[in-house]
Structure 1
Amino acid sequence: MDHYIDLKLLSDPEFPPTQLMNALFAKLHRGLVELGCDDIGISFPDSPRAGHGFGSRLRLHGTAAGLDRLLAFNWLSGMRDHVQLSELAAVPADTQHRGLRRVQVDSNPERLRRRAIKRHGLSEEQARQRIPDHAGKTLDLPFIDLYSQSSGQRFRLFIAQGPIQANAQIGTFNAYGLSHEATVPWF
């Protein structure tokens, strides 16, 4: 993780920043999946100043070769009018590090009811009484709205930012650029 690229959202009167960030992130995810990348991490350097959201900047972290390979794939098609792409740059010396990971929660009461019916042999009415509509858990974390390629369903990708650390933790990243063990430079 010695290089990075910043993607800054440009203001657009037709689309709010959250919608543009959702679209940008979806395109990044598809690009990482198609390339089979596990060496590119992400961060949202504006998130502390953006309140509960992610801000207007998505930062990609990796090696110069890995980031060049991603950019050569042309995963940004359709977003170039909405994004200002920085030059590939070296990570500053003596930077801190931070982990970003996905957090999942059972938040769909219908799915919880189906599971209770299957696992506990409950009737639909019993499951509805046991698991009311407001029973789904919610998280107080920022999220990206995405659509599942397999099911076509919309879901929220909740992202937790870990504590700032002095040393980097090595590991692999998933197709969202997140990791449960690896950190990215934080500056």
Structure 2
Amino acid sequence: MDSYIELQLLPDPEFPANMLMNALFAKLHRGLVSSGEGRIGVSFPDVEQKGVGLGARLRLHGAATDLERLMAVNWLQGMRDHLSCGSVNLVPANAAYRVVRRVQAKSSPERERRRLIARKGISAEAAVQAIPDSAAEMLRLPYLLLSSQSTEQQFRLFVEHLPVQKEPVGGAFSAYGLSSTATVPWF
């Protein structure tokens, strides 16, 4: 993972940055599904700035050949007027590393109860006792609002940047460019 591409959203009077980032990330997901093969990771360099959510920059990390292959798919179609896309660059030698992962909240006790009933065959009353409404987990992480292509329902994809570390950890990335174990360069 020696290279990166930086995508910077341009200010737009009609669309807020978070709406554009949602659209950009949805397109990236489709591009990664068709050509990413688990070798491209993402990071959001502005995430730690207070009040900006994930920010207006998205970095793609990987080997130069993998990044060039992704960019050849033309997954940015329809977004080019809304962003500045850098070229493939080498990661700075002094870069640190961090895991950028998806966190899934257990925010719907009702959904969890339905799953429990289906799996264990217990009654609705027993499921309510096992999973009370107070079990809902509210995350305070930045997120992307995406739509499922299969169900067409919107969902929040919560993104967490784990603490910075000195050494890289290899591994595969999801079709969202996220991993629970593999690191991306952080600079």
CA deviation vs aligned residue, 1:24-60 (integer Å, no higher than 9, x gap): 0010001000114211010111111243611100000
What is the alpha-carbon distance in structure 1 between the residues aligned to residue 182 and residue 129 of structure 2? 42
Q: Deviations over 1:123-146 (max 9, x none)?
A: 4x7756876666521111111111
Q: Name the structure 1 match of 2:100.
A: 100
User: 2:113 maps to what in 1?
Assistant: 113
CA contact (8 A) 2:36 2:70 kept: no
Number of residue pairs matched by the alignment: 186
Cα distance in 1 between the residues matched to 2:181 and 2:127:
37
Query: Which residue number in structure 2 is paired with residue 167 of structure 1?
Result: 167
**Deviation for aligned residue 1:179:** 0.9
Deviation at 1:117, TM superposition (A): 3.3
Q: Which residue of 2 aligns with 1:30?
A: 30
The DSSP-based 3-state class of the residue aligned with 2:70 is helix
Q: Give the drift of 1:112.
A: 2.1
1-side partners of 2:103 and 2:127: how far apart? Answer: 26
Partner of 2:123: 122
Contact 1:91-1:185 at 8 Å conserved across structures: yes
User: In 2 relative to 1, CA 79–162 (structure 1 residues): closer, same or farther, beyond 3 Å?
Assistant: same
Alpha carbons 2:46, 2:52 under 8 Å: kept: no
Residue identity matched to 1:153: Q
Amino acid in the other structure paired with 2:13 = P
Distance 1:114 1:20 in 2: 35
Task: Give 1:7-46 correspondences, 5 Å limit.
Answer: 7-46=7-46
Offset from partner CA, 1:108-166 (integer Å, 9 cap, x none): 2331231243335224x775687666652111111111111222211111111111111
TM-score of the pair, normalised by structure 2 = 0.91
Where do 4+ consecutive residues of structure 1 move more than 4 Å?
125-135
Task: Tell me the equivalent position of 2:180.
Answer: 180
Alpha-carbon distance in 2 for matches of 1:65, 1:84:
21
For the residue of structure 1 that corresponds to 2:97, the secondary structure is strand
The match for 1:145 is 145
Question: In the alignment, which residue of structure 2 is the partner of 1:66?
Answer: 66
Structure 1: segments with no counterpart, 5+ residues: none
